[in-house]
């Protein structure tokens, strides 16, 4: 049984400029207990897909099943199975952290939830803020409350929509330790993030979306294998000649070339020398998920 099954999910919006296809027949499955990454640039359709899963929006066509239950046919059942951390930093200014969690438990019909709420507060580093009003919390603290709110009913499937956007290193560490623990206890996790390092470290399987279509879907290890195996990285003080620049990834002074073998690396270095440039801090590293991401997004142009 799949924890989540996306079946030809299409979503179209009517805009002033005409019809916009946000999702184009998206299909993939997430196994029970899997830590799954959904990646893609801004506007790729990740949040739209999660909104349909959560019942916040409706698909134009296609189906999403959670534990084999259709989210559009039986939304009350599927919402109980899902714990969704929304991307927007929203909160109810009338209440304290503990009240927010108590209400959320109540909406899900969970009674006598004080112990689990205490555990959530402690695990997410919120214990000393339990009786603070939501307005008094910093952005990072509000983000933690969003995570806690999504977990009050111990959902078997946890969906995190960019949970680490704009939060500090400490929260990321706390959050990932906690989510990893829940995953090891059997909870399925669906994560969207722009931090590809996090996705590489945490996700067993990854789907990449681009303009509403799935452009890559595989185990993280397979995706890394399939990409160019190495990256040549160095710094230069002057711009690269255009024919070299189009092959490279340039970030300020840092230049990176995807490379399959030693001959290719030698070629790049000699071209640089012939162009009259000096490469400093030269290193060769293994390709990471960011390289794969850029390769996949480039190919599917």
Partner 1 sequence: MMGWRALFYKEVLRFWKVSFQTVGAPVLTSLLYLLIFGHVMADKVKVYDTVSYTSFLVPGLVMMSVLQNAFANSSSSLIQSKIMGNLVFILLAPLNHWSWFMAYVGSSVVRGLAVGSSVLVVTLFFTDLSVSAPLWIIIFALLGATMLGALGLIAGLWSEKFDQMAAFQNFVIMPMTFLSGVFYSIHSLPTFWQSISHLNPFFYMIDGFRYGFFGVSDVSPWLSLCIVSGALIAVSYVGLSMLKSGYKIRG
How far apart are the C-alpha atoms of 287 and 283, rounded to whole Å? Answer: 12
165 lines the binding site for partner 1 (CB under 8 A): no
195 lines the binding site for partner 1 (CB under 8 A): no
Q: Which is nearer to partner 1, 150 or 189 (CB)?
A: 150
62 lines the binding site for partner 1 (CB under 8 A): no
The H-or-E segment that residue 10 falls in is strand 2-15
Q: Which is nearer to partner 1, 54 or 175 (CB)?
A: 54
| Bridge partners of residue 223, in order along the sequence | none
Choosing from 8, 103, 250, 282, the residue that interacts with partner 1 (CB under 8 A) is 103
Return all residues near 69 (Cβ < 8 A) that are at least 6 apart.
77, 78, 81
With contacts defined by CB under 8 A, name the span among 25-33, 76-84, 192-200, 292-300 that binds partner 1.
76-84
Q: How far apart are the first and last CA of the chain?
A: 34
Choosing from 20, 107, 280, 299, the residue that interacts with partner 1 (CB under 8 A) is 107
Please state, in angstroms and as integers, the Cα–Cα distance from residue 31 to each residue in 36, 38, 62, 67, following that order: 9, 14, 19, 10
80 lines the binding site for partner 1 (CB under 8 A): yes
Q: What is the DSSP string of 26-65?
A: EEEEEETT-EEEEE--TTSSHHHHHHHHHTSS--SEEEEE
With contacts defined by CB under 8 A, name the span among 28-36, 82-90, 123-131, 208-216 that binds partner 1.
82-90
Q: Which is nearer to partner 1, 3 or 289 (CB)?
A: 3
Choosing from 49, 65, 82, 277, the residue that interacts with partner 1 (CB under 8 A) is 82
Q: Are 211 and 221 in contact (CB under 8 A)?
A: no
Give the per-residue contact string, 20-59, with partner 1 (x = CB under 8 A; - = no). -------------------------------x--xxxxx-
84 lines the binding site for partner 1 (CB under 8 A): yes
Q: Are 237 and 278 in contact (CB under 8 A)?
A: yes
Q: 124-149 burial string, b = 16+ CB within 10 Å, else e?
A: bbbeebeeebbeebeebbbbbbbbbb
In angstroms, what is the minimal distance from the CB of 145 to partner 1? 11
Provide the 10 A C-beta neighbour count for residue 78: 22
Give the per-residue contact string, 114-153, with partner 1 (x = CB under 8 A; - = no). -----------------------------------xx---
212 lines the binding site for partner 1 (CB under 8 A): no
Q: Are 268 and 223 in contact (CB under 8 A)?
A: no
Residue 94 DSSP SS3? coil
Q: Which is nearer to partner 1, 50 or 202 (CB)?
A: 50
234 lines the binding site for partner 1 (CB under 8 A): no
The residues binding partner 1 (CB under 8 A) are 51, 54-58, 75-77, 79-80, 82, 84, 86, 88, 90-95, 99-100, 102-109, 149-150
């Amino acid at each position: 049984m799949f924890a989540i099954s996306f079946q030809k999910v299409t979503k179209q919006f009517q805009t002033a400029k005409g019809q916009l296809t946000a999702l184009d027949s998206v299909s993939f499955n997430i196994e029970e207990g899997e830590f799954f990454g959904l990646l893609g640039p801004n506007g790729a359709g990740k949040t739209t897909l999660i909104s349909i899963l959560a019942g916040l929006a409706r698909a134009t066509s296609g189906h999403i099943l959670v534990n084999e239950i259709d989210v559009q046919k039986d939304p009350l059942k599927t919402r109980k199975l899902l714990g969704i951390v929304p991307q927007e930093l929203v909160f109810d200014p009338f209440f304290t952290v503990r009240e927010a969690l108590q209400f959320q438990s109540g909406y899900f019909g969970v009674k006598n939830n004080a112990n689990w709420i205490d555990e959530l507060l402690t695990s997410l580093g919120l214990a000393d803020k339990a009786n603070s009003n939501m307005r008094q919390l910093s952005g990072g603290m509000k983000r933690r409350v969003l995570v806690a709110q999504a977990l009050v009913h111990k959902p078997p499937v946890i969906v995190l929509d960019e949970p680490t956007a704009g939060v500090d290193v400490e929260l990321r560490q706390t959050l990932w330790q906690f989510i990893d623990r829940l995953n090891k206890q059997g909870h399925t996790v669906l994560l969207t993030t722009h931090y590809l390092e996090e996705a590489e470290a945490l996700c067993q399987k990854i789907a990449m979306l681009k303009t509403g279509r799935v452009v890559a879907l595989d185990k993280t290890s397979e995706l890394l294998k399939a990409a160019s195996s190495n990256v040549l990285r160095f710094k230069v003080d002057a711009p690269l000649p255009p024919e070299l620049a189009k092959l490279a990834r340039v970030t300020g002074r840092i230049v990176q070339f995807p490379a399959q073998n030693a001959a290719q690396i030698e070629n790049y270095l000699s071209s640089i020398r012939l162009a009259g440039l000096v490469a400093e801090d030269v290193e060769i590293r293994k390709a990471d998920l960011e390289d794969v991401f850029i390769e996949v997004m480039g190919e599917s142009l």
